[in-house]
């Protein structure tokens, strides 16, 4: 009996051992299969094959919903595709069961960080909260696992995004202490070198990152960027194209490739790449700016404005775009549009100085172009602009353009004492460079001293010797309606580059303005001869807004204002007529006496306390 019991026990044990061995082998085989699947998922993610990777994750989770590795990978897939809320849900499921999962904390942190790139206004207005939330998650990952190198790398990226380059570098180095062959951290360390203008050192890091991970599309992108900075355009294009092969839907890479083509003077290819970048990520601002520069270079300012307006409609915080719209609008004489956009950016500390200068110029041009039916800018707005400019001068006391802006405002408010002070401040500046001479010329224009202005503009042209400088000068002179100087600048361009499209189109634009000015003058003369004073004044002001260098228009407008008892305005236009170099000396003497007579008349009326009506001040 004992033998039978012993035999039964042995048989049972044998069966159990056989079953356990079979189960263990089957379990190892299953675990091995899962491990191979996870490796396959990682490989698919590296090749941006997100749909295939996601399907494989779902298969694993269907068999075992508690497979943490598969859920981490699924969250990572969603995050890489910027399905960030879905990513956070997957990582949160892991943390609900195990709050000490470093990969899940890191994944949520990365999702929060990626949200900061959104153009969603709710996010943009609370961006600091997302930064803080991301850092908390990365730090939680490190607390759970002090050797979790990916979290150190991600904190570095976030700090670099905030402009804290040195701190970011320390975190990248910490990640590499733990994992010296971590390609992404090596690449990111290279970006800190590039930010410090250590281009060669950056390029070496990018190459090292690529050697460790040939699928690192971002490293190819950054290497292309570095080679562009070194002027190696062909090599840069090759690396950027490799980056696109690995990640075809990268807006920054298309944008950088467009820049490379543009630097090779291949504008057609550049435009194609910029438009691809805009199509992939409409809220990405850089390609809009680059494309607008191409259009502006061709003289197609309207196209440039159109694209930029599309950009700011998508991203209202695109202040650099708004400032460029304002500048281009001013160039085209669309003064109301320029004022609108200058006002939208003037409260931002990064752009306020430039916006205030443009706004003062726009107000001044508006006063020159305004007619009897137009809405004149209120005195309050002028005073508000003046106060803002004075505040800007406190931080930039040597900025002549700010004094020019104040000079224009003082002309508009008829404050002669301030005008004289600001004029003196500008004209006594000893610097001898193009910018200073342009400012002096523009200052003379506020007093209708055309000959003096032209002398300053010609000096600025003679100081310059580059095509780009002459093109920029020509645009400035067109804005000021000083066509003689503008023609000289553009003709110098054509001497060196006879096919320069921007110069050719700019000269055509000047001719068109001059022709329109003459047409308006003929209309105004008809109104003047028929005694239609209001219509005459309106047409003459339109004429002079196109071409202020027409002596006959200045004289007719002065006479019209005198008859309507706008004495200040009459004096202004008689002065403008006298200061035009093309009139005869006897007329100079005659109308100087006329000006003196009107000034005395104004003084007598003021002494009696009588109000002298003003139309506006040019």
pLDDT, one tens digit per residue, over 90-141 is 999 999 999 999 999 999 999 999 888 776 667 767 788 888 999 999 999 9
CA distance linking residue 459 with residue 436, whole number of Å: 10
Residue count (the chain): 618
> Terminus-to-terminus CA distance in the chain, angstroms?
127
| 618 band by pLDDT with thresholds 50, 70 and 90 | very low
Q: What is the pLDDT of residue 8?
A: 44
Given a cut of 80, whether residue 563 has pLDDT beyond it is yes
Given a cut of 70, whether residue 447 has pLDDT beyond it is yes
Mean pLDDT of 528-547: 86
CA distance linking residue 272 with residue 252, whole number of Å: 14
| 6 band by pLDDT with thresholds 50, 70 and 90 | very low
CA distance linking residue 117 with residue 127, whole number of Å: 9
Nearest one of 300, 352, 299 to 322, comparing CA atoms? 352
Q: What is the pLDDT of residues 151-190, one digit of tens each?
A: 999 999 999 988 899 999 999 999 999 999 999 999 999 9
Q: How many CB atoms lie within 10 A of CB 554?
A: 28
Domain encompassing residue 599:
513-607
Nearest one of 575, 549, 574, 579 to 562, comparing CA atoms? 574
Given a cut of 80, whether residue 13 has pLDDT beyond it is no
Long-range contacts of 345-351 (CB under 8 A, 24+ apart): 345/319, 346/388, 348/319, 350/319, 351/319, 351/320, 351/323
Given a cut of 90, whether residue 393 has pLDDT beyond it is no
Take residue 152 and report the two structure tokens written for it: 């150190």
Q: What is the pLDDT of residue 34?
A: 58
414-434: string of b/e by CB count within 10 Å (b at 16+)?
ebeebbeebbeebeeeeeeeb
In order of 392, 393, 410, 575, the CA distances from 387 in angstroms are 9, 10, 12, 29
Contacts of 503 (CB under 8 A, 6+ apart): 471, 474, 490, 491, 493, 494, 497
Are 326 and 425 contained in the same domain? yes
Name the domain boundary from 412, 429, 446: 429
Residue 499 belongs to a domain = no
Residue 369 belongs to a domain = yes
Given a cut of 60, whether residue 373 has pLDDT beyond it is no
Residue 76 belongs to a domain = no
Give this prediction's pTM.
0.66
CA distance linking residue 184 with residue 210, whole number of Å: 9
Nearest one of 405, 416, 486, 489 to 439, comparing CA atoms? 405
Given a cut of 90, whether residue 347 has pLDDT beyond it is no
Residue 110 belongs to a domain = no
Residue 325 belongs to a domain = yes
Report the CATH number at residue 339: 1.25.40.10
Residue 503 belongs to a domain = no
Q: What is the pLDDT of residue 360?
A: 77
Mean pLDDT across the chain, nearest whole number? 85
Given a cut of 70, whether residue 539 has pLDDT beyond it is yes
Q: What is the pLDDT of residues 208-219, one digit of tens each?
A: 999 999 989 999
Given a cut of 70, whether residue 25 has pLDDT beyond it is no
Nearest one of 52, 81, 57 to 69, comparing CA atoms? 57
| Sign, Cα dihedral of 528, 559, 454, 431 | negative
Are 454 and 436 within 8 A, CB to CB? Answer: no
Nearest one of 251, 317, 258 to 293, comparing CA atoms? 258
Q: Percent of the chain, pLDDT > 90?
A: 46
- Which of the pair, 609 or 371, is modelled with greater confidence? 609
Contacts of 25 (CB under 8 A, 6+ apart): none
Name the domain boundary from 429, 460, 484: 429
Given a cut of 80, whether residue 274 has pLDDT beyond it is yes
CA distance linking residue 160 with residue 349, whole number of Å: 21
Q: Percent of the chain, pLDDT > 70?
A: 90
Secondary structure letter of residue 377 according to DSSP: P
Residue 121 belongs to a domain = no
Q: What is the pLDDT of residues 458-493, one digit of tens each?
A: 999 999 989 989 998 998 898 888 999 999 999 999
Residue 339 belongs to a domain = yes
CA distance linking residue 469 with residue 489, whole number of Å: 9
Q: What is the pLDDT of residue 370?
A: 43
CA distance linking residue 425 with residue 398, whole number of Å: 10
Are 564 and 556 within 8 A, CB to CB? Answer: no
Looking at the structure of the chain, the number of domains it has is 2
Are 323 and 425 contained in the same domain? yes
Q: What is the pLDDT of residue 394?
A: 79
Given a cut of 50, whether residue 439 has pLDDT beyond it is yes
Q: What is the pLDDT of residues 205-260, one digit of tens each?
A: 999 999 999 989 999 999 999 999 999 999 999 999 999 998 888 999 999 999 99
Name the domain boundary from 400, 429, 458: 429
């Amino acid at each position: 009996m004992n033998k039978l019991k012993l035999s039964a026990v042995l048989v049972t044990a044998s069966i159990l051992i056989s079953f356990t061995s079979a189960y263990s082998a089957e379990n190892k085989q299953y675990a091995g299969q899962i491990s191979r699947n996870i490796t396959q998922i990682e490989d698919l993610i590296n090749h941006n094959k997100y749909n295939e990777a996601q399907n494989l994750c779902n298969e694993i989770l269907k068999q075992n919903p508690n497979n943490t590795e598969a859920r981490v990978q699924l969250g990572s897939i969603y995050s890489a595709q910027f399905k960030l809320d879905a990513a956070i849900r997957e990582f949160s499921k892991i943390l609900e069961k195990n709050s000490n999962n470093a990969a899940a904390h890191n994944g949520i942190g990365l999702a929060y960080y990626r949200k900061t790139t959104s153009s969603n206004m709710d996010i943009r207005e609370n961006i600091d909260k997302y930064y803080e939330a991301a850092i908390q998650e990365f730090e939680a990952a490190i607390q759970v696992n002090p050797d979790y190198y990916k979290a150190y790398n991600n904190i570095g990226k976030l700090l670099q995004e905030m402009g804290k380059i040195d701190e970011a570098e320390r975190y990248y180095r910490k990640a590499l202490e733990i994992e010296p062959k971590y390609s992404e951290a090596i690449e990111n360390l290279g970006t800190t070198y590039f930010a410090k203008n250590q281009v060669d050192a950056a390029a070496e890091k990018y190459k090292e990152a690529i050697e460790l991970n040939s699928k690192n599309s971002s490293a190819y992108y950054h290497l292309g960027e570095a080679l562009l900075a070194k002027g190696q355009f062909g090599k840069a294009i090759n690396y950027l194209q490799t980056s696109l092969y690995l990640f075809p839907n990268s807006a920054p890479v298309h944008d950088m490739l467009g820049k490379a083509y543009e630097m090779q003077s291949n504008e057609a290819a550049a435009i194609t790449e910029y438009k691809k970048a805009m199509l992939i990520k409409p809220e990405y601002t850089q390609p809009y700016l680059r494309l607008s520069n191409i259009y502006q270079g061709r003289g197609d300012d309207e196209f440039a404005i159109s694209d930029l307006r599309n950009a700011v409609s998508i991203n209202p915080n695109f202040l650099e775009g708004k400032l460029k719209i304002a500048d281009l609008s001013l160039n085209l004489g669309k003064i109301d549009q320029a004022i609108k956009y200058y006002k939208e950016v003037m409260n931002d500390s990064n752009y306020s100085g430039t916006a205030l200068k443009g706004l003062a110029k726009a107000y001044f041009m508006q006063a020159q172009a305004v007619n009897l039916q137009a809405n004149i800018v209120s005195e309050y707005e002028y005073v508000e602009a003046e106060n803002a400019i004075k505040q800007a001068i406190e931080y930039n006391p040597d900025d002549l353009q700010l004094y020019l802006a104040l000079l224009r405002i003082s002309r508009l408010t008829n404050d002669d004492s301030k005008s004289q002070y600001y004029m003196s401040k500008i004209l006594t500046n000893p610097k001898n460079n193009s910018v200073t001479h342009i400012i002096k010329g523009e200052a003379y224009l506020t007093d209708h001293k055309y000959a003096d202005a032209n002398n300053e503009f010609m000096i600025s042209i003679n100081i310059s010797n580059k095509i780009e400088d002459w093109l920029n000068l020509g645009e400035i002179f067109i804005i000021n309606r000083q066509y003689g100087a503008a023609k000289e600048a553009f003709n110098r361009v054509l001497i060196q580059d006879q096919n320069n499209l921007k110069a050719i189109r700019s000269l055509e634009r000047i001719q068109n303005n001059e022709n329109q000015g003459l047409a308006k003058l003929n209309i105004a003369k008809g109104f003047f001869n028929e005694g239609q004073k209001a219509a005459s004044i309106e047409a003459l002001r339109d004429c002079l807004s196109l071409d202020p260098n027409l002596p006959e228009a200045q004289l007719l407008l002065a006479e019209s204002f005198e008859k309507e008892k706008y004495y200040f305005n009459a004096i202004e236009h008689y002065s403008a007529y006298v200061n035009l170099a093309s009139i005869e000396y006897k007329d100079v003497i005659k109308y100087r006496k006329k000006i003196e007579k009107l000034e005395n008349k104004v003084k007598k009326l003021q002494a009696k306390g009588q109000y002298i009506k003003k139309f506006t001040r040019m």
